[in-house]
């Protein structure tokens, strides 16, 4: 069996934080959970303990539902917020629109109503531009808004920006969902608590990610309001996101939340992205498309520079013609990894 595993670990990847391994603390939590029998479908002590940690994280009781993966968690989070004739307003660059193979529309049957944005972030004015068809039987009816934290352009929403969106949504009978696949990285970048950019800012339902920050698998859907919370247990089963052995997801989140592993990992990833941005920004042939705020960098990189960098480490070239590249750091990205990529960009690596 060893020959299959000998190839693992060769080289470093800046394509996605999903390429990183499982953090040792999460792996130890999985091993500790793998003892004896436990009640299935979340009726176990570990799932109960993990839910209490989410209550502590947000400073009040919340409704926690674990799911297998990010796409499933986003569908589950949005499912109770929109009817079949309804629509979810989101940025045209949103992950739920561009990278989930139409899963929400296929499974839920409602529409994603996308908004062109200059930087991947929604504003109250952009949301308002999508409400003209309300009340007409000929148009899907906007019922909720979805924003991503970190956004698909690598930018983060401040607490004030989220509060402004949430207030607009609630004044206009819309709910607010956050795709928080990298919510810990966003909080670390802003130097605030996760609650400050979610529950305290008016978010109604949150997809809380862990896979991109050191966990093996499993995301959490957190409902801050009751109506969707009442439907979520049934919807989770219906869309095949109910884990029979939920203790293995929960155990990871106990490790993730109880020792601030989520923040340690997020700060580490962000710090390496910041150093990489500092090293690249002064080089000829590199132009940043957006400011590097968390652990994702978007830059237009000249072909000769890009070629040298790709020989050192793989990352995604999003647009060959424009040279737009997406470079992502992870919790285990090292200073050596970053300095090596900078040196390659300079031509001396």
- For 18-30, how does the pLDDT look when each residue is reduced to its tens digit (9 = 90+)? 999 999 999 999 9
Residue 5 lies in a domain: no
Do 176 and 268 lie in a common domain?
A: no
Please indicate, yes or no, whether residues 135 and 280 belong to a single structural domain of this protein.
no
What pLDDT does residue 348 have?
84
Helix (H, G, I), strand (E, B) or coil at 89: strand
Does residue 251 sit in the same domain as residue 310?
Answer: no
* Residues 304 and 235 both lie in one domain: no
The predicted model gives 145-171 an average pLDDT of 98
285 and 145 in one domain? no
Q: Tell me the helix, strand and coil percentages in the chain, rounded to 5.
A: 45, 15, 40
Looking at 214, 235, 261, the residue that finishes a domain is 261
Q: Are residues 330 and 252 in the same domain?
A: no
User: Which 3 state secondary structure label does DSSP give 115?
Assistant: strand
How confident is the model over 259-273, as pLDDT tens digits?
Answer: 899 999 999 999 999
- Whether the CA torsion 184, 190, 194, 200 is positive or negative: it is negative
pLDDT of residue 7: 52
**Strand locations in 23-140, DSSP E?**
63-67, 86-91, 111-115
β-pair partners for 144: 88, 175
Write out the residue range of the structural domain in which residue 318 sits: 11-19+262-346
Euclidean distance between CA atoms 74 and 95, whole angstroms: 10
The answer to whether the CB of 345 falls within 8 A of the CB of 313 is no
Does residue 54 share a domain with residue 153?
Answer: yes
Q: Please write the tens of the pLDDT for every residue from 68-123.
A: 999 999 999 999 999 999 999 999 999 999 999 999 999 999 999 999 999 999 99
Separation CA 31–CA 36 (nearest Å)? 11
Question: Are 243 and 267 members of one domain?
Answer: no
**Mean pLDDT over all residues of the chain?**
96
On whether the CB atoms of residues 121 and 157 are closer than 8 A, the answer is yes
CATH of the domain at 197: 3.40.640.10
In degrees, to the nearest 5, what angle opens at C-alpha 73 toward C-alphas 70 and 76?
Answer: 155
Token couple for 275: 């150093």
Counted domains in the chain = 2
Do 210 and 138 share a structural domain? yes
Measure the CA–CA gap between 302 and 325, rounded to whole angstroms. 10
Which tens digit of pLDDT belongs to each residue from 209-227?
999 999 999 999 999 999 9
Closest C-alpha to 233, from 80, 6, 88:
80
On whether both 189 and 337 belong to a single domain, the answer is no
Contact status, residue 88 vs residue 115, Cβ threshold 8 Å? no
Q: Do 195 and 334 reside in the same domain of the chain? A: no
């Amino acid at each position: 069996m060893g020959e299959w595993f000998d190839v693992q670990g060769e080289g470093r990847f800046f394509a996605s934080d999903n390429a990183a391994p499982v953090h040792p603390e999460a792996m130890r939590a999985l091993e500790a959970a793998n003892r004896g029998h436990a009640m299935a479908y979340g009726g176990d002590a570990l799932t109960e303990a993990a839910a209490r940690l989410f209550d502590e994280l947000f400073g009040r009781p919340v409704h926690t539902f674990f799911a297998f993966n990010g796409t499933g968690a986003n569908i589950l989070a949005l499912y109770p917020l929109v009817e079949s004739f309804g629509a979810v307003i989101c940025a045209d660059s949103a992950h739920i629109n561009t990278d989930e193979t139409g899963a929400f529309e296929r499974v839920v049957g409602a529409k994603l109503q996308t908004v062109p944005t200059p930087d991947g972030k929604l504003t109250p004015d952009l949301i308002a531009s999508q409400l003209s068809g309300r009340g007409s039987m000929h148009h899907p009816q906007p019922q909720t808004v979805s924003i991503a934290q970190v956004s698909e352009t690598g930018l983060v929403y401040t607490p004030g920006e989220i509060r402004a969106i949430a207030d607009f949504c609630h004044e206009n009978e819309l709910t607010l969902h956050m795709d928080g696949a990298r919510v810990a990285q966003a909080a670390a970048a802003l130097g605030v608590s996760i609650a400050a950019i979610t529950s305290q800012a008016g978010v109604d339902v949150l997809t809380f990610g862990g896979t991109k920050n050191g966990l093996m698998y499993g995301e959490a859907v957190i409902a801050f309001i009751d109506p969707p919370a009442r439907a979520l247990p049934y919807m989770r089963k219906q869309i095949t996101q109910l884990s029979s052995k939920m203790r293995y997801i929960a155990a990871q989140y106990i490790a993730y939340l109880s020792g601030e592993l989520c923040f340690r990992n997020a700060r580490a990833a962000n710090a390496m992205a910041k150093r990489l941005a500092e090293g690249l920004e002064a080089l000829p042939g590199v132009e940043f498309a957006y400011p590097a705020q968390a652990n994702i960098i978007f830059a237009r990189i000249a072909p000769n520079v890009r070629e040298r960098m790709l020989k050192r480490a793989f990352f995604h070239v999003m647009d060959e013609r424009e040279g737009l590249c997406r470079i992502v750091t992870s919790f285990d990205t090292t200073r050596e990894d970053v300095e090596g990529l900078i040196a390659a960009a300079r031509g001396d690596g």
